[in-house]
Structure 1
Amino acid sequence: MTTSTNEYPTKAYGAADTSGHIAPMDITRRGLRDDDVLIDISHCGICHSDLHTARNDWGRTSYPVVPGHEIVGTVAALGNGVTRHKIGDRVAIGCMVDACMQCSHCEQGLEQYCKQGMVGTYGGTDRHDGSKTHGGYSTRIACRDEFVLKVPEALSSEHAAPLLCAGITTYSPLRTWKIGPGSKVAVAGLGGLGHMGVKFAVAMGAEVTVLSRSEDKRADAEALGAHDFLLTTDKPSMKAKSGTFDMVLNTIPVRHDVTPYLHLLRIDGVQVLVGMIDMMPEMHSGLLLGRKVLTGSGIGGLAETQEMLDLCAKKNIVPEIEMIPMQDVNTAYERMEASDVKYRFVIDIGNSDF
């Protein structure tokens, strides 16, 4: 594989230490390999993972780090072997930029579960030169062409961005467990992931209930298309719904007790964790003897993510967003922690100070 010697100096924002403060920095994007695409970034969504990585909450951040894995932009240059894209195309990158593409998981279109480990869009290690990957809080990015997705014409760039993580993270389990007409789905948590879970489940024809500790979320749930709302602090109401749901899509991003949600499942029902990346509190295994499934799900593979983007364009399924310039990202982090956003921040790279 040949590599162009023309590296690309790039303006970015990132964190230099565990304070997690995001500030301007200069990085260099690699010269293009034969299968690379260079993208001028126009928009980048903000994910809770960005904040956790910037602050080293998971104990594995290597600084400096440039977050951002909900990336949309236009093709600026191509490696010599690229035929899937052309200059000027509107494209997107999600949470991964490479994988082995040869293992049994990759061959099934499950690149996110690559046996050799998929390469994260930021904080990952490049498979070829060992360099560290940097994300979308920047003006451009180079990426292997198979991992560059096409943005349908009917999707705006700003609305497409959050679909690359919040969208596919909720779409994938709903599709995997074949949610459709007649299914009963409960969505726990109504944030960036949860609101997309509601929209997708409704679009798939399911009867959707939002689970929340806050009565204030009832009107929002209805506005998003949910058919019912269940206050989880209302024990009689929770008990009345015992054994009701085919799926609980659990998008709650902090450590919490999953037991009450298992009670809500029917036989062979599944609770899928997509938000909590933490040690799980103890639970009584007797609950699982009722043939209830507790599992987790990551993002989707490349084909599934493209399928989701195409579906969103066809059915006008888009996230609720608030646009900000790059220089306001630290305030956005604070507001995100306080659940003060409905429901996803998107950075307008083109109108930001670099």
Structure 2
Amino acid sequence: MKLKVGDYAGVGCIVDSCLHCSACDDDLEQYCEHGPTLTYNGMECDGVTPTFGGYSDQIVVKEHFVVKVPETLDLKGAAPLLCAGITTYSPLRHWKVGAGDKVGVIGLGGLGHMGVKFAKALGAHVVMITTSPEKGRDAARLGADEVLVSRDAEAMARHAGSFDFLLNTIPVGHDVNPYLALLKRDATMCLVGALEELTPAVNGVNLIIGRKSIAGSAIGGMEETQEMIDFCAEHGIVSDVEIVSIQEVNEAWERLAKNDVKYRFVIDMSSLKAAA
């Protein structure tokens, strides 16, 4: 058993999978060929029982889908690691980001701020790429070595062809063509935020010239999620959070729609009792 009574247990975005397909055999349960069971708004493997997520006093989960959270991590800041954290950690590890690499993190939000922290801890030279110059100071605080304002055509031209990897965290459809110009030959831009059509269309020449790639990545499997949590404990990494009560959840939702959070809301579940 990997957990004992008294340990802190973390439950992320998935709570089950088939455990016998090729993806599951490769410890990539998030890509289960039969579909992983999401922790919230999903269905159990019986196809009948809905999953209700973590808005509760208790949750029963198979031990395989639980990670051990080290005592040294602040629990409030550790909670988003199981979503935003692993979403950004997984592609950085898959594309073997490390010392000597120049990495661009596109977008400074819940995902982007974790991408900056991880890329820096992995030894990369980190460039925060944003449309908002005012985010530069916060990007530096998070560990960025440089800030590149994507609306500055001259600055974009100076950085053209210089990035080993781009982590694109923008959560909506957008024009990726200007960012492709930043990549070195054979380099990759990975999307982790946009779950909709990219507009305008990708210009094929931006991929063909330089043999560049666009890829996507979801969360990580359970083995990698545990690796990520342990990495965070070793490097003192947590998410920047704002604590809200369950009574404030509607206000928090409205603020989230306005991007008015740095950088993740965490609900104080003890406030559920006050709401009862």
In structure 2, the residue corresponding to 1:124 is in which secondary structure? strand
User: In the TM superposition, what are the counterparts of 1:230-241 in structure 2 within 5 Å?
Assistant: 230-241=148-159
Spell out, residue by residue over 1:277-310, the C-alpha distance to the aligned partner (whole angstroms, 9 max, x if none): 1111112111110211101000000000000101
SS, match of residue 260 in structure 1:
helix
Q: Give me the CA root mean square deviation.
A: 1.1
Residue 87 of structure 1, CA deviation: 3.4
For 2:40 and 2:115, locate their aligned partners in 1 and report how far apart those are by CA, in whole Å: 25
Mapping of 1:130-279 within 5 angstroms? 130-279=48-197
Structure 1: any 5+ residue segments left out of the alignment?
1-82
Alpha-carbon distance in structure 2 between the residues aligned to 1:226 and 1:87 = 39
Q: Which amino acid aligns with 1:284?
A: N
- Deviation (angstroms), 1:348: 0.9
In structure 2, the partner of 1:284 is 203
- Give the one of 244, 255, 261 matched to 1:341: 261
- Indicate whether 1:117 and 2:28 are aligned: no
Match of 2:226 in 1: 306
Larger radius of gyration: 1
Letter matched to residue 58 of structure 2: R
**Does the 8 Å CA contact 2:15/2:39 hold for their aligned counterparts?**
yes
- Residues 153-193 of structure 1, C-alpha deviation per residue, up to 9 Å, x if partnerless? 11121111000000000000000000000011000000000
Residue 248 of structure 2 is matched in structure 1 by: 328
Question: 2:174 and 2:251 mapped to 1: Cα distance?
Answer: 26
1:293 aligns with 2:213: yes
In 2, the alpha carbon distance for the partners of 1:134 and 1:276 equals: 24
- 1:86 CA drift (Å): 3.3
* 2:21–2:32 CA contact under 8 A, matched in 1: yes
Give the whole-Å Cα distance in 1 for the aligned partners of 2:270 and 2:233. Answer: 23
1:318 to 230, 238, 259: 238
Q: Partner amino acid for 2:204?
A: S
Larger relative helix fraction: 2
How far did 1:101 drift?
Answer: 0.6
Q: Distance in 2 between matches of 1:138 and 1:253?
A: 28
In 2, Cα distance between equivalents of 1:339 and 1:214? 13
Verify the 8 A CA contact 1:173 1:272 in the aligned structure 2: yes
Counterpart for residue 6 of structure 1: none
Aligned length: 272
**Structure 1 SS opposite 2:59:** strand
Preserved CA contact (<8 Å) 2:2 2:68: no
Aligned twin of 1:76: none
How many Å apart are 1:138 and its aligned residue?
2.0
1:99 aligned onto 2:22: no
| Percent identity of equivalent pairs | 51
Contact 1:137-1:326 at 8 Å conserved across structures? no
What is the SS of the residue equivalent to 1:160?
helix
- AA paired with 2:117? K
Matched, 1:87 2:5: yes
The CA deviation at 1:240 is: 1.3
Query: Whole-Å Cα distance in 2 between the matches of residues 230 and 116 of structure 1?
Result: 41
Deviation of the 1:84 alpha carbon: 3.8
Determine if contact 1:154/1:314 at 8 Å carries over to the other structure.
no
Q: Which amino acid aligns with 1:296?
A: G
Q: Deviations over 1:70-127 (max 9, x none)?
A: xxxxxxxxxxxxx443333210111100001111111111000011111111111111
Give the TM-score normalised by structure 2: 0.96
- Distance (whole Å) between structure 2 residues aligned to residue 167 and residue 232 of structure 1: 24
What per-residue deviation string (whole Å, max 9, x for no partner) do you get for residues 250-279 of structure 1? 001111111111110001111000011111
Distance in 2, Cα, partners of 1:295 & 1:135: 29
What is the DSSP-based 3-state SS (H/G/I as helix, E as strand, rest coil) of the residue aligned with 2:52? coil
Shift of 1:350: 1.6
My pick for the range that moved more, 186-195 or 342-351, is 342-351
Secondary structure of 2:50's counterpart equals: coil
Distance in structure 1 (CA, Å) of the matches to 2:47 and 2:60? 14
